[in-house]
Structure 1
Amino acid sequence: MIIPCIDLLDGKAVQLKQGKEKILEVEDVFGIAGRFSCAGDLAIVDLNAAFGKGNNDLLVEQLCASYDCRVGGGIRTSQKAEQVLSWGAKKIVIGTAASKDFLSALPRKKTIVAIDSSRGKVVANAWRESTGVPTIDFALDLQDYCSGFLYTGVDVEGMMGGFDLDFAKSLRELLDGELVVAGGISEIEQVSNLDAAGIDCQVGMAVYSGKLSIEDCFASCVNFEKRGGLVPTVVLDPDGRVLSLLYSNYASLKEALKTGDGIYFSNSRQKTWRKGETSGNTQTLLRAYSDCDRDALVFVVEQKNGACHTGEYSCFNNYGFSLQDLEKTIAERISVPSPKSYTSLVSTTPALLEEKIMEEAQEVIDFTDQTNLKREVADLTYFLTIKLAKNGLKWDDVFKELQARSK
């Protein structure tokens, strides 16, 4: 599939021709990220850090908090790698510093090695120095120390003049794990050919310039022919609860990705259909995924009211209680305090909240049986959720921290 790339320089999104000449500059980084994020992970590259001229740490951290990001640029120490992962980065991309010793200190499944290549040899230090090491030898030497590779053809990067598909395929045959290709990609056929070969593509200049669109790239990789032009589309809410099973065709998928709405193909209407266009129960598309065979989709949506025509939240009647529901209730009590609400009282009395957290933590330690333990943990969770909310955090932030610590 595709991985949209956002290169950061001095707090702005830029596109450089062959890593040198600035062709484009955009100040609204989050506007770009929001537009790109429906279709996949975002590749965030801190050019300042890569060039050794400052960094964009705060901006990168904010992007990681909001989107699924793989981050590269200037990650040359294990401390920096750990810091970036602690921000919630899904993966880190290691370039100049890539060596067996360095990679051994990093979580393999979260580490991608960048192979920046010019004329068959690896280049380093923001593409300014040739190492003299053959590209294939470099990759084979390090493949046991990472989850995959990002191969960039430096000679064609930012030129939109095509790339060497045969060489990319030869890398795919030799290497295990994920393989992403960047540099020179400018046509839909190139994207679909790479995907058919088991290779993802990282796109930048072609998308910014309008030569490619995110929706065209994504849709071109989906196998609509297998079921007569339609693919089943499982619709989930952000908590992973199944809302419905619908269908997409090429046109409806493109429109959904372009507009950010829940748009599908209606068998009964025999046309593209926007969810909620008559009922008002609309959907905002947060993320689209395809399965490994490219013949099924998952839409993650923000659902307004119920998703089912009966008025129920889910067509599968599987609406259960979640931590997110607790967070929403607590957020409402905090934003609109009520003298009758215990949550409002606790949230506005810091000393009481701290007292209750300490009290419930001790009761968890002193539990008497399984029933008592689960009740005390529930009490503690309630008060901790208030503590998080009062400090602008959610449980998702805690889970991202745990994810960052996993090896």
Structure 2
Amino acid sequence: MRFRPCIDLHQGKVKQIVGETLTQDNQNVVENFVSELDSTHYAKMYQKDQLRGGHIIMLGSGNEAAAVQALQAYPGGMQIGGGITAENAASYLGKGASHIIVTSYVFRNGELNMPNLLAIVAEIGKENLVIDLSCKERDGKWYVVTNQWTTFSDFEVNPVNISELEQYCSEFLVHAVDVEGKQSGIQKTLASQLSQWVSIPTTYAGGARSIADLELFNSLTAGKLDITIGSALDIFGGNLPYKQVVEYCNQQS
């Protein structure tokens, strides 16, 4: 299990928000934390601590400059996602991203858009692609949600579908949207199932708030999944010491 750090950008600032409150007009976004520090501060900190494979997520428009600054502060150290398409994906790799993360581009109109998936794979190669399977529970099953986590797709996160998608990417990023940003504990069922279903590197995000949560996560997943933590960390206004998380995860990996 590795700790994968994050930089979430909203309106050009580093923030931690409750993901499911995102809307196109940004009128009712619940912000857990708005940093006075810029994106390069966090990128350089992650580089200093030798944390690779974290992600920069651009939540809506107005984040391009801050995202590129972070990429250039830690070349090859972080992935990037948020509004990226086959047309602009290669440019982000050229600006320092290690991988491109996609959700809404490959899940369109409530279903998997295979032409778009094939287009971006042709452009940057599967080795540079991370598919975001951020999902919510409905009727006891997990479904990918898109459009800033506001729209259910018909794509179920299950062993068959995961096996199919693994042919087109090198990693998965999975936000447990029901608990994302709420510091209410990890989604135990999802974490456990993912660890059984995936055969490529996969990062789980959502709800972790303590070392006890990390211990539980590590036990449930047998160390197979990586984890990211946002608003619970003291660097984002929370109570969980960032340094303590780094040390714990380094011991596990």
Q: Same fold (TM over 0.5)?
A: yes
Which of 12, 24, 28 is 2:33 aligned to?
24
One-letter code of the match for 1:178? P
Q: Which runs of 5+ in 1 are unaligned?
A: 49-53, 224-292, 295-407
Q: In the aligned structure 2, how far is the partner of 1:32 from the partner of 1:141? A: 35
Matching of residue 132 in structure 1 with residue 134 in structure 2:
no
Residue 47 of structure 1 is matched in structure 2 by: 59
* 1:163-222 CA-partner distances (Å, limit 9, x unpaired): 223432321222111110001111213324445421111111111133222221122134
2:117 paired with 1:117: no
Code of the aligned partner of 2:227 = C
Q: Is the 8 A contact 1:6 1:44 kept in 2?
A: yes
Cα displacement (A) at 1:138: 4.1
| 1:316-395 pair list within 5 angstroms | none
The whole-number CA distance in structure 2 between the counterparts of 1:216 and 1:82 is: 36
Q: Once the 2 structures are TM-superposed, how far is the Cα of residue 128 of structure 1 from its aligned partner?
A: 1.0
Aligned-pair identity in percent equals 26
User: Could you tell me whether the CA contact under 8 Å between 1:185 and 1:191 is conserved in 2?
Assistant: yes
Residue 107 of structure 1 corresponds to 125
Which of 73, 78, 82 lines up with 2:86 in the alignment? 78
Q: Distance in 2 between matches of 1:2 and 1:173?
A: 19
1:161 deviates by 0.6
Label 1:192 to 1:34 Cα distance change in 2 as closer, same or farther (>3 A). Answer: farther
Say whether residues 1:172 and 2:195 are aligned partners: yes
SS in 1 for 2:167: helix
| CA deviation profile, 1:130-157 (whole Å, cap 9, x unmatched) | 1132122543331110011111111100
Contact 1:93/1:113 (CA < 8 Å) preserved in 2? Answer: yes
Q: Conserved in 2, the CA contact under 8 Å of 1:73 and 1:94?
A: yes
Q: Distance in 2 between matches of 1:167 and 1:122?
A: 13
> Which residue number in structure 2 is paired with residue 33 of structure 1?
43
Partner SS state of residue 133, structure 2: strand
Look up the SS of the partner of 2:228 in the other structure.
Answer: strand
Give the match for residue 185 of structure 1: 208
The RMSD of aligned alpha carbons is: 2.0
Alpha-carbon separation, structure 2, partners of 1:176 and 1:59: 33
- 1:273-319 superposed Cα distances (whole Å, 9 cap, x missing partner): xxxxxxxxxxxxxxxxxxxx83xxxxxxxxxxxxxxxxxxxxxxxxx
Spell out, residue by residue over 1:236-265, the C-alpha distance to the aligned partner (whole angstroms, 9 max, x if none): xxxxxxxxxxxxxxxxxxxxxxxxxxxxxx
Equivalence for 1:14: 15
Letter in 1 for 2:68: E
Runs of 4+ displaced beyond 4 Å: none
Larger helix share, 1 or 2: 1
RCO (CA 8 Å, sep 6+): is it higher in 1 or 2? 2
Q: Is the alpha carbon distance of 1:222 and 1:60 closer, same or farther for their aligned partners in structure 2, counting shifts above 3 Å?
A: closer
Query: 2 CA distance for matches of 1:138 and 1:159?
Result: 28
Once residues 164 and 18 of structure 2 are traced to their aligned partners in structure 1, the CA distance between those partners, rounded to angstroms, is 30
Q: Is the 8 A contact 1:117 1:154 kept in 2?
A: yes
Q: Kindly report which structure 2 residues correspond to 1:190-339, keeping only aligned pairs within 5 A, or say none.
A: 190-195=213-218, 196-207=222-233, 208-223=236-251, 294=253
Larger radius of gyration: 1
- The amino acid across from 1:143 in the alignment is E
Give 3-state SS (helix, strand or coil) of 2:203's partner.
strand
TM-score (normalizing by structure 2): 0.79
Residue 57 (structure 1) aligned to one of 37, 42, 64: 64
Task: Report the TM-score, using the length of structure 1 for normalisation.
Answer: 0.51
